Amino acid sequence: MNEVKDIDKQVELLLKGVSDIISKKGLVAKLQLANKEKRPLRVKLGVDASASDIHLGTAVPLNKLRQFQDLGHEAVFLIGDFTGMIGDPSGRSKTRKPLTKEQVEANGKVLKEQIFRILDPKKTEVVYNSSWCNKMNFSEVVKLASHYTVAQLIERDDFEKRYKANEAIGLHEFLYPLVQGYDSVVLKSDIEICGTDQRFNCLVGRAFQEAYGQEPQVIIMMPILEGMGIKEKMSKSLGNYIGITEEANSMFAKVMSITDEQVYDYFLLCTKLTEIEIKDRCKAFKDKPKELKEELALEITSLYCGEDDAEKAKDVFDIKHGKKLRNNNLSTEETIEALKKIAKEVVVKKSEFPEGKVWICNLMKLIKAVPSTSEARRAISQGAVRFNGEVLKDIKFEVSLDSKEFLLQSGKRSVFCVKIK
């Protein structure tokens, strides 16, 4: 493979899922120069310490940063502890309340732990912008501000809307894009990855780099991932998020709750599949939207929880929704735990059965799992009854009432947690 083809392949990979880039020509040039000089590019991604948990929306640019790492480039993950105390005005209709130092420190600690679910820790430089911002004196801040005009700042969409609506804009909010832009100068970033809502701030970074005699960074903008089932940005505050540290059962179920229209974007932005693989998968399940969504849920859950836990989560989801198990790879204990989450609690008084046991068909009628003992017989003979997760085959089976509780499943959806009192 010659050098040009190699660069073309890299560009193809790096542009997967990208919403916009400034500019593709610049990216090619930087990749070619890095290849010629045999050095890695410095690729920056900044996240404010305004929230702690990383969800799939936050993971979109993180996964792009990982792609650069896999190609041998340098990942610089910036935790915006200083900017977090200012409050990002992006997309805001009113001034955001600044966070305290203690809040951003606590959030930053969690972020640093969670990013390595995606990034390679051996190839990641983690930095905090307070380490240089706290050292700046007032004259340095004034000098920084001299490189940008009020007219340029007010052109920013959210500032312009608020200004025209007579909504308050704090002077500290004007400083936010300046500080974020200066981060790129300090870090000498070749490339900055961001969400589309950070376009303005990253452009300030390019302008500042030129003002300080540096080659301006390439900006790679990733789409904003919609949350579960609604056309709103994925956000913990909106409750429409899927955290990357969630346990497998929860993650699988949440992915299954997205709309059919969101499936392709989730495949594109939240999995490692190539665009060709995604299109092939969509074509294979063209008339089976639920099955396609299950494939997506397996891909995402496997990515963060492992393949075994993802398969088990699929089985748990099937049990909860009355579907026949596809792989049946749950242990009896795991099946019981899954059933408990959907079981209806019923109480049986031990005093009503002096012999300390009860015929299974009578019990099923008693708790109203079936209308009659004959229906119970039929269900058992058809293999439709489970006792503590195991298929019951003996019509003459008698249940001991020495246990404090047990699970009884009749058919696909009737699950009972029977408690003995």
- Domain with residue 254: its CATH number is 1.10.240.10
209/225 Cα distance (integer angstroms): 29
Residue 115 forms part of a structural domain: yes
346/47 Cα distance (integer angstroms): 49
Whether residues 75 and 132 share a domain: the answer is: yes
The tokens of 161 are what? 């809307």
Residue 233 forms part of a structural domain: no
Question: In which domain, by residue range, is 195 found?
Answer: 3-222
Closest CA to 96 of 108, 105, 83, 106: 83
326 residue type, one letter: R
Q: What is the pLDDT of residues 291-333, one digit of tens each?
A: 999 999 999 999 999 999 998 888 888 877 766 544 556 666 7
Residue 243 forms part of a structural domain: no
Residue 242 forms part of a structural domain: no
Whether residues 262 and 349 share a domain: the answer is: no
Whether residues 189 and 58 share a domain: the answer is: yes
179/168 Cα distance (integer angstroms): 21
Q: How many domains does the chain have?
A: 3
pLDDT at 83: 80
419 residue type, one letter: K
Residue 393 forms part of a structural domain: yes
Closest CA to 296 of 344, 323, 261: 261
Whether residues 145 and 264 share a domain: the answer is: no
Of 305, 330, 355, the position where a domain reaches its end is 330
CA angle, residues 208, 214, 218, in degrees to nearest 5: 75
Q: Look up the pTM and report it.
A: 0.75
Of 311, 330, 349, the position where a domain reaches its end is 330
The tokens of 209 are what? 């780099």
Residue 353 forms part of a structural domain: yes
Whether residues 80 and 105 share a domain: the answer is: yes
Which stretches of the chain score pLDDT less than 50?
Answer: 1-4, 93, 325-326
Q: What is the pLDDT of residues 176-227, one digit of tens each?
A: 889 899 999 999 999 999 999 889 899 999 999 999 999 999 999 999 999 9
Whether residues 211 and 130 share a domain: the answer is: yes
Whether residues 171 and 273 share a domain: the answer is: no
Q: Across-strand partners of 345?
A: 417
pLDDT at 3: 45
pLDDT at 66: 96
pLDDT at 312: 85
pLDDT at 318: 83
The tokens of 217 are what? 């960074």
pLDDT at 2: 42
Residue 235 forms part of a structural domain: no
Whether residues 320 and 349 share a domain: the answer is: no
417/388 Cα distance (integer angstroms): 9
Cβ(264)–Cβ(328) below 8 Å:
no
Residue 349 forms part of a structural domain: yes
pLDDT at 1: 35
Whether residues 51 and 146 share a domain: the answer is: yes
Closest CA to 353 of 402, 394, 303: 402
Whether residues 324 and 343 share a domain: the answer is: no
Of 187, 222, 257, the position where a domain reaches its end is 222
How many other C-beta atoms are found inside a 10 Å radius of the C-beta of residue 278? 20
Whether residues 349 and 307 share a domain: the answer is: no
Whether residues 174 and 32 share a domain: the answer is: yes
- Domain with residue 120: its CATH number is 3.40.50.620
pLDDT at 4: 43
- Which residues 6+ apart lie within 8 Å of 46 measured at CB? 77, 78, 79, 80, 83, 129, 180, 183, 192, 194
Question: Edge-to-edge strand order for the sheet containing 218-222?
Answer: 20-22, 218-222, 191-195, 42-48, 74-80, 124-128
Cβ(405)–Cβ(420) below 8 Å:
yes
Length of the chain, please?
421
- Domain with residue 386: its CATH number is 3.10.290.10
pLDDT at 115: 92
pLDDT at 93: 46
